[in-house]
Amino acid sequence: MAKKKFLFDWTKYAANNLVSAVVANNARQSIVMTFKGVKPFNRCVYTEFTTSPSKTVDSRTVDKAAKTVTVHVTVAFANGNTITCTYNPPGKGENITIPVTNNISA
């Protein structure tokens, strides 16, 4: 019997491991996503992330100790924006869309 090739399921990972995704009032250009573990994001690059409303993503930071992935955009989000962050891992053919809590006050 042939062994099945293991394929990582990003959608399942995001559904089971995402703790929170937030844009804070004091960091209006950063989406901070907290996971139970960030190992799958170790080799990700900022060009694999997009946002809605559409902003130019200029960097991403993975903090293993804090278990966060921070996506930084060039133009700040505003109060009232409904924000999502989409991750498109290379070669996987699936996008993961993560709803983001907007904590920006007026």
Segments forming the whole domain that contains residue 37 = 10-103
Find the length of the chain. Answer: 106
The DSSP call for residue 6 is: P
Average of per-residue pLDDT across 1-8: 58
Quick one: CA torsion of 12, 17, 55, 28, rounded to 10 degrees? 160
Does residue 4 fall inside a structural domain? no
Report the 3 state secondary structure along 43-65: CCCHHHEEEECCCCEEEEEEECC
Binned at pLDDT 50, 70 and 90, residue 10 comes out as: confident
Does residue 1 fall inside a structural domain? no
Distance CA 102, CA 97 (A): 15
* Each residue's pLDDT tens digit, 50-93: 999 999 999 999 999 999 999 999 999 999 999 999 999 877 66
Does 5 or 26 have the greater pLDDT score?
26
Q: What is the CATH number of the domain that holds 16?
A: 2.60.40.1220
Alpha-helical runs (H) found in 1-106? 10-17
pLDDT of residue 83: 97
Q: Is the pTM of this model over 0.95?
A: no
Characterize the bridge pairing of strands 18-24 and 96-103: parallel
